A and B are shown apart, each in its own frame.
Chain A
Amino acid sequence: MESTTSIIPPEGMQLVYERPKALVDVHTHYCPGCTHGVAHRLLAEAIDELGVREKTILVAPVGCSVFAYAYFNTDGCEAAHGRAPAMATGIKRIDPSRVVVTYQGDGDLAAIGTAEIIHAAARGECITTLFINNAIYGMTGGQMAPTTLLGQKTKSSPMGRDAKIAGLPIRMSEVLATLPGSAYIVRRSLHDVNNIRKAKKAIVTALKAQINGLGFSMVELLSSCPTNWGIPADKALEWVEENMVPYYPLGDYKVIEAVKSL
């Protein structure tokens, strides 16, 4: 990965927008218009804002964000497909003063890793999960995910997702909110600037919940995969708003009192 040059402001001008310290200065491998990059930036900004870069440990998933650890200026590791919450548990239990974050896609978190995420939440494990819901398996080339919408065509639901064959899409935030150990479970979207700002705030709150030892926190981010949806990047953002938001309503699914008073 080649390095990009950092910005030096012309004389008399002030630098108001910068690369977060927690983000490494490299090109990512994501497709043009993919919202993984946006999610990365938000997480890095939140880490910077809380001043926890030095003690953050990132657990990357198996999915398009498999190399996420290479983009953050933090310690990082790579879990087996779906197992990030278990690996994060191991790390957190060894040193609870660390900030441990898993970053997971919908195949990783809501299919193969369902048991791990449910039990991490049930235990009230003090870790934070960023859940990238793009309604598809990106890395393997566009197969159906548990979050794929009804009727949505994918490489393994070529006639459109059929409830008779594949059941109905899972709403993970709603599921995890029912578990007693979860402290902060919210769903946000990355389809426009306004929502991106809200997503950033939520990530900061989630990390704070962890730092204060309040329990499991997760921010679900409705995201786009222009490549495997087969639509241009701008249209993909519209698709998130028009198709995903109605099925996956944005909002706070669980905010315990202790988090509210943070």
Chain B
Amino acid sequence: MAKEMLKGNNAIAEAAVRAGLEAYFGYPITPQTELLEYLSKRLVELNRVFLQAESEVAAINMVYGAACAGARVMTSSSSPGISLMQEGLSYIAGSELPVVIVDIMRGGPGLGNILPSQGDYFQVTRSAGHGDFHPIVLAPSSVQEAIDFTILAFELAEKYRHMVLLAADGQIGQMMEPAELPPMRPLMEKRPDWALTGAGDRPPNIISSIFLVAEEMENYNKMIQNKLKVIRANEQRWDEIYTEDIDLLVVGYGTAGRIALTAVEEAREEGMKVGLLRPQTLYPFPDDRISELADYVDSVLVVEMNAGQMLDDVRLAVGGQVPVSFFGRMGGVVPMPDEIYNAIKEAYTKTTAHKAA
């Protein structure tokens, strides 16, 4: 199929439709609303399920219900709406259901603003509401990746029977870029065995997140932890460029990652030995590769649109082998390439001075 100029939000919506999305429940919130608006037309035309819920609380619980019924289902929102969904997310986590959630992040905390931000990194990677759980988190940095990761999100959700979050920011949601959509996939043909379809002549299927006996709750947790171990071993994804023979490694994802690329290229033109690693999965975090690179770079610079959240994960991966510094803008301010360039230059100068000494 040929490339078209596509807006991030619309591209994600259409990609979901083509991935065989059967039902969508959501609530308007900027900068995500085009996604809901697009599906209000597209899904209705296709005779699939679209419903504007009365709130994000309702939307996520509708998703919970549809997932119990075995549907390929999705919701989308932006930061404050994702906060409101936390309870539902925890129940879904406690019920081992495959769902896809799109978060088009905006400035916070509080009502904040509608501008691009990466302030939800902790909110999306550390848990899903209360309890021990991590969703798989995909972080696109372009409209094409937003499309590809939407498809991947449904695949991973169903492969692992696990929650998958697509975490993009307002810039990716709002920008247009040439991108290619995949062909239309058919809807799921058969409901999964565990789905609630009416017992018929099989034993009843029950989906519940309550385990009153501590050991049973622990066993469920162990099962989830084992699954997460497999996910960590198999699903770390990242993109890297110019990472051979460098002194400074820049790490950034999503919008911050692609802006950092411009800055890295400028720095390389100035003769600095700098490269970029762009995590594509925030959970599982690409620890293995970062830890490997930390063996031979002299320092690492983390770039984010927040106060330094992924920074923790990078530090854990680097394990104290080399210094890790940080550059971030907050509150909806998108860094310009020259700011990141300056941060690179500073980190680089420090590193090389240190090396010389």
Contacts and interface: CB of A to CB of B under 8 A. Distances in A.
| A adjacent to B, CB under 8 Å | yes
Contact of A143 (B28, B50, B57): B28
B36 interface: yes
Contact of B55 (A82, A140, A156): A82
Contacts of B41: 158-159
5 contacts: A80-B111, A81-B80, A141-B28, A155-B33, A156-B28
B213 to A, nearest CB: 33
A80 B79 CA distance: 13
A165 B33 contact: no
B111 A78 contact: yes
A80 B57 CA distance: 13
Contacts of A158: 37, 40-41
A140 B28 contact: yes
Interface string A115-146: 00000000000000000000001001101101
Interface in B38-66: 40-41, 44, 50-52, 54-57
A131 to B, nearest CB: 16
Given A81-B80, A155-B37, A156-B36, A141 B30 contact: yes
Nearest to A143: B28
A66 B80 CA distance: 15
A143 B52 contact: yes
Interface in A17-37: none
Contact of B52 (A62, A80, A81, A166): A166
Given A80-B111, A159-B41, A165-B50, 6 more contacts: A82-B55, A112-B27, A155-B33, A155-B40, A158-B37, A159-B44
B355 to A, nearest CB: 51
A43 to B, nearest CB: 22
Name which of B28, B54, B80 has the most chain A CB atoms within 10 A of its CB. Answer: B28
Contacts of A112: 27, 54-57
Contact of A62 (B40, B56, B57, B111): B111
Given A80-B80, A143-B33, A157 B40 contact: yes
Contacts of B30: 140-141
Interface in A84-129: 107, 111-112, 114
A165 B44 contact: yes
B272 interface: no
Nearest to A146: B54
Contacts of B28: 107, 137, 140-141, 143, 156
Interface in B140-193: none
Nearest to B56: A112
Interface of B: 27-30, 33, 36-37, 40-41, 44, 50-52, 54-57, 80, 111
A166 B55 CA distance: 14
B11 to A, nearest CB: 18
Contacts of B36: 143, 156
A248 to B, nearest CB: 19
Contacts of A159: 41, 44
A66 B52 contact: no
A223 B102 CA distance: 33
Nearest to B45: A159
A195 B55 CA distance: 32
Contacts of B27: 111-112
Nearest to B53: A111
A247 B111 CA distance: 33
Sorted nearest first, the 8 A-B pairs with minimum C-beta distance are: A112-B55, A156-B40, A111-B54, A140-B28, A143-B28, A155-B37, A158-B41, A156-B52
A172 B219 CA distance: 47
With most chain B CB atoms within 10 A of its CB, the pick from A78, A144, A146, A155 is A155
A10 B2 CA distance: 70
A140 B33 contact: yes
A35 B28 CA distance: 22
A74 B36 CA distance: 37
Contacts of B40: 155-158
A82 B28 CA distance: 13
A156 B39 CA distance: 8
Contacts of B44: 159, 165
Contacts of A107: 28
A141 B33 contact: yes
A143 B51 CA distance: 12
Contacts of B54: 111-112, 114, 146
Contacts of B33: 140-141, 143, 155
A52 to B, nearest CB: 27
B52 A140 contact: no
A140 B44 CA distance: 21
A110 to B, nearest CB: 8
Contacts of A80: 80, 111
Interface string A25-65: 00000000000000000000000000000000000001000
A119 to B, nearest CB: 15
B37 to A, nearest CB: 5
Nearest to B29: A140
B43 to A, nearest CB: 10
A143 B27 CA distance: 9
A156 B44 CA distance: 11
B37 A143 contact: yes
Contacts of A114: 54
Given A137-B28, A141-B30, A166-B52, A156 B37 contact: yes
A192 to B, nearest CB: 31
A65 to B, nearest CB: 13
